[in-house]
Structure 1
């Protein structure tokens, strides 16, 4: 069984499950935990192959397999339905769940996610793969914040980023695992099936995201009949970290309405 954590109100009527992006670590959601834990039971987990779930990934590992991992966690917790919040790769895991297991979701929040990888995003991942394969994991980890956060935030948080870089290098998920996970997200394409999604959905994005154009979220919201789009003007790809108060307020409003 995969490692996961449950925090917040044990007596809450609703469970919120948080799924992170390519890094895979449940700790990514630390800026959301206090706000969510006041009202909800919150589940967070390290994705398979990352963090405390370090088993090697099989060849052909897919977004569908990542979604099945979520179902395994819900079943282990005896949770029939949950609100699912996913960032980037985690968001496309949520889309797969909404298509294959709609009865397990009360609502869906894909954050800076996509139905099909944008050409610009594919180019960014190609550069990151080149760094990994031809320079090494340390260079990959060192470059990662450039894709995640706005330049002013990077400048103001140099000490924090140095600590995160050291942690990221020490706990790197491994090149083989990372390449399989990148391959899975690049292969994902549900652009022709968005109209089948019936789960109440908040598509969240940042206009200054340099990894995933906010227009990818606009296309998601346009294609999902039950979706609405919420765009914040700044914060970068990781705006849940750089602008947590703004995101948390929008997330709580949506979860309250969906419930």
Structure 2
């Protein structure tokens, strides 16, 4: 792995303004956080978003034994390149795992950690969803795999009301789909992640946001996180699905900005 990681810095020009680094889920795209950037910038934060290695504008060939720990090292490289010694980290699903790994490996680099629909170890229901999608990818190809994705991301009512948005996202995801070996390596990394026995070692202050209608990751996963973390607050969203920061950005942004402001 030799390529540098693409990242963008948004918001306050003051280099002393607190930095919020945002790490997306399996898709790996900086674009995922577009509903949050303005709210955070208006609250006085600098926002760093990036395309994860092997995705989007950070092309690279990933090894089959790729790990969440390697993804956490990439975050440190992004911080170094951005001139940021310490940040508030916000991670969605896989991105949340990356943040927890960084909190274990180098906690001095984190002012706080927000994890959205994440888990200490992959849940049986989540594994079933990924296994079904992998069979789609293997037997039917990229388009059916991507066309099934909104079912796991969004509430059905939201999809019905935003059909054009969903269709555009599907086509964009197909056009930008990473090499299949990279996708397989990333899924294997999240399935192998298990810090159940190390949660008590994470001393960073944590906000866990859980959507109660998430069909991919049950809210019980966030409850398990908070039960094991020394400094954790659980915020439940009744509506929003797995991508609750996209489907209900007003509620999510209010929760996030309030937490970061308190910290």
Q: Within the alignment, does 1:8 sit opposite 2:11 as a pair?
A: yes
Q: Which residues in structure 2 correspond to 1:232-247 (within 5 Å)?
A: 232-247=237-252
Aligned partner (choices 72, 78, 99) of residue 73 of structure 1? 78
Q: Which residues in structure 2 correspond to 1:198-217 (within 5 Å)?
A: 198-217=203-222
CA drift of 1:256 comes to 0.6
Distance in 2, Cα, partners of 1:59 & 1:173: 14
SS in 2 for 1:231: strand
String of CA shifts for 1:41-62, please: whole Å, max 9, x gaps: 1000000011101111123110
Distance in 1, Cα, partners of 2:85 & 2:192: 29
Computed over aligned residues only, the root mean square deviation of the Cα atoms, in angstroms, reads: 0.7
TM-score by length of 2: 0.97
SS in 2 for 1:202: strand
Distance in 2, Cα, partners of 1:10 & 1:70: 21
String of CA shifts for 1:163-222, please: whole Å, max 9, x gaps: 111111111112111100000000000000100111111011100000000000000011
Return 5+ residue gaps in structure 2 as ranges. none
String of CA shifts for 1:6-48, please: whole Å, max 9, x gaps: 0010215210000000000010000001101121010000000
Return 5+ residue gaps in structure 1 as ranges. none
What is the number of residues matched between the two proteins?
A: 258
Q: Within the alignment, does 1:146 sit opposite 2:151 as a pair?
A: yes
Kindly report structure 1 stretches of 4+ aligned residues shifted beyond 3 Å: none
Q: Which residues in structure 2 correspond to 1:102-141 (within 5 Å)?
A: 102-141=107-146
Q: Which residues in structure 2 correspond to 1:151-190 (within 5 Å)?
A: 151-190=156-195
TM-score by length of 1: 0.98
String of CA shifts for 1:123-175, please: whole Å, max 9, x gaps: 00000100111100000110000000000001111111111111111111121
